[in-house]
Amino acid sequence: DTGVSQDPRHKITKRGQNVTFRCDPISEHNRLYWYRQTLGQGPEFLTYFQNEAQLEKSRLLSDRFSAERPKGSFSTLEIQRTEQGDSAMYLCASSTQAGQNTDTQYFGPGTRLTVL
């Protein structure tokens, strides 16, 4: 399977714990995005990488959230001191810079986080 993969698919944690999610993009894609999606809503943009550089972060990304893409390949999203409001599906997407503003983002299956 050469699509975007995410791990784990599901995570249940207690409030106050730290969690880390991983995303492996399609291998030739240089752009990687993180989104958060709550039930009945569309995905909300969190952050974006081009290669290893984090070029944009949403105001939704509080200081408890940190994302990295150390070698320009896989990425991790860490949430520290989780809160119940962090419960959501966390989606990763990747794309290639085929043309400005027309690249299609390919989404992974998501990691569903439940904070108890």
Partner 1 sequence: KNQVEQSPQSLIILEGKNCTLQCNYTVSPFSNLRWYKQDTGRGPVSLTIMTFSENTKSNGRYTATLDADTKQSSLHITASQLSDSASYICVVSDRGSTLGRLYFGRGTQLTVWP
* 108 belongs to the binding site for partner 1 (CB under 8 A): yes
The answer to whether 88 and 37 are in contact (CB under 8 A) is yes
* 109 belongs to the binding site for partner 1 (CB under 8 A): yes
- Closest contact distance (angstroms) between CB of 81 and partner 1 is 27
- Closest contact distance (angstroms) between CB of 9 and partner 1 is 9
* 84 belongs to the binding site for partner 1 (CB under 8 A): no
* 113 belongs to the binding site for partner 1 (CB under 8 A): no
Find the farthest-apart pair of alpha carbons in the chain and give their distance in angstroms, rounded. Answer: 43
Angle at 23 between CA 21 and CA 26, to 5 degrees: 175
Give the chain's length.
116
- Closest contact distance (angstroms) between CB of 29 and partner 1 is 14
Q: Between 44 and 83, how does the x/- string for binding to partner 1 read (CB under 8 A)? A: xx--x------xx---------------------------
Distance CA 111, CA 26 (A): 17
The answer to whether 111 and 90 are in contact (CB under 8 A) is yes
